[in-house]
Amino acid sequence: MEANTLFAHTLLQLGPVVIRDTVVTTWLLMLLLWVAAWLATRHMRTRPGLVQTAVEGAVTAMAEAVRQALPQHAEMVMPFVLTLWTFLVTANLVGLIPGLHSPTRDLSATAALAVLVFLSVHWFGIRAVGLKDYLRHYLSPSPILLPFHVISEITRSLALAVRLFGNMMSLELVALLLVWVGGLLVPIPILMLHIVEALVQAYIFGMLALVYIAGAIQTGALAKSPAPNTEPDAEQKP
């Protein structure tokens, strides 16, 4: 394992179009997930086998996490969040296969995921409360705070991309250094570390995306609801 293999490298270039190993691995993962989902749901049984039980358990656990964060809009958000979690787990773990590297070690891939989350946050917010009421929450409690709201949206999306990239890149770098120093005496601890870290990073990224979506829906709903009347009733006035 050489140091330059940690970084995405060009496989094919057609004029201005550059195809890197990150793109190829990502598309292969999407195809693999599509085939696996089709096979797992092709013959559903009332008495599930081992594979069906494992799939149902994973889907139920992820769906429950979504319901805890968004009980009223869980069905609307669930397909996106569950797909994001599933892709991240497989993308982070693909680095365990010899000759392949995690797409999430590439900043371009994590930036694309962060942009997808950024767009989804506003999409679900608008779907939940409407465009007018959703945009109104950027002007509350004062229109002066509009630039700060915009900066917050951009910086948290940037942090989302850099966090995943930094953790996955450092994980592969640590694995490279340990193999270089210890040789073949440390493959199993590295393997366990990679699995645990991959699952943790996928969970954090998906959970942050869920929190951002829930925050957009809830703040939009608060902006939509009328302000409470603080004036005393006429009967209570002296």
What is the average pLDDT across 120-145?
84
Asked if the model's pLDDT at residue 76 lies above 50, the reply is: yes
Using one digit for the tens of pLDDT, what is the confidence trace for 203-222? 999 999 999 998 888 876 66
What is the mean predicted confidence (pLDDT) over 54-58?
Answer: 85
Residue 235 has pLDDT above 50, yes or no: no
pLDDT of residue 160: 92
Three-point CA angle 149, 210, 144, nearest 5°: 10
Instruction: For 87-101, write each residue's pLDDT tens digit.
Output: 999 999 887 777 778
- pLDDT band (50, 70, 90) for residue 236: very low
Residue 230 has pLDDT above 50, yes or no: no
User: What band does 121 get if pLDDT is binned at 50, 70 and 90?
Assistant: very high
pLDDT in tens, 2-37: 445 556 667 667 777 777 788 888 999 999 999 988
